[in-house]
Amino acid sequence: MMNDWTQGEVVVGDVRLHYTRTGGDKPVLVLAHGVTDDGLCWTPLARALESERDVIMVDARGHGRSSAPETGFDPLTQGRDLAAVIESLGLHKPAVLGHSMGAASTLGLVAQRPDLPGAILLEDPPSWWLAPQPDDPATAQRVAGMRQWMLGLKEKTREQLIAAERVNSPTWAEDEFGPWADSKLRVSPNVARIFEERFMQRLGWPEALAVTSCPALLLRADPERGGIVTDDAAAALRAVIPHLSVVHIPGAGHNIRREQFDVYLQAVRAFLAAAGS
Convert the chain into a string of H (helix), E (strand) and C (coil).
CHHHCEEEEEEECCEEEEEEECCCCCCEEEEECCCCCCHHHHHHHHHHHCCCCEEEEECCCCCCCCCCCCCCCCHHHHHHHHHHHHHHCCCCCCEEEEECHHHHHHHHHHHHCCCCCCEEEEECCCCCCCCCCCCCHHHHHHHHHHHHHHHHHCCCCHHHHHHHHHHHCCCCCHHHHHHHHHHHHHCCHHHHHHHHHHHHCCCCHHHHHCCCCCCEEEEECCHHHCCCCCHHHHHHHHHHCCCCEEEECCCCCCCHHHHCHHHHHHHHHHHHHHHCC
Mean pLDDT of 14-29: 97
- Range with the lowest mean pLDDT among 27-41, 83-97, 147-161, 249-263? 147-161
Tell me, what's the pLDDT at 30? 98
* Identity of residue 198: R
Res. 129 pLDDT band, cuts 50 70 90: confident
Tell me, what's the pLDDT at 130? 84
Res. 101 pLDDT band, cuts 50 70 90: very high
- In degrees, rounded to 5, the angle at the alpha carbon of residue 107 between the alpha carbons of residues 31 and 101 is 60
Tell me, what's the pLDDT at 57? 98
Q: What percent of the chain has pLDDT over 90?
A: 79
Could you give the domains of the chain? Answer: 2-275 (3.40.50.1820)
Q: Which residues pair with 246 in a beta bridge?
A: 218
Q: Which residue has the higher pLDDT, 274 or 1?
A: 274
Tell me the average pLDDT of the chain: 92
* pTM attached to this predicted model: 0.94
Res. 3 pLDDT band, cuts 50 70 90: low
Tell me, what's the pLDDT at 277? 79
Res. 124 pLDDT band, cuts 50 70 90: very high
Would you say residue 263 has pLDDT above 90?
A: yes
- The string of pLDDT tens digits covering residues 193-231 is 887 655 555 568 888 898 999 999 999 999 999 999 999
- Range with the lowest mean pLDDT among 3-17, 55-69, 152-166, 187-201? 187-201
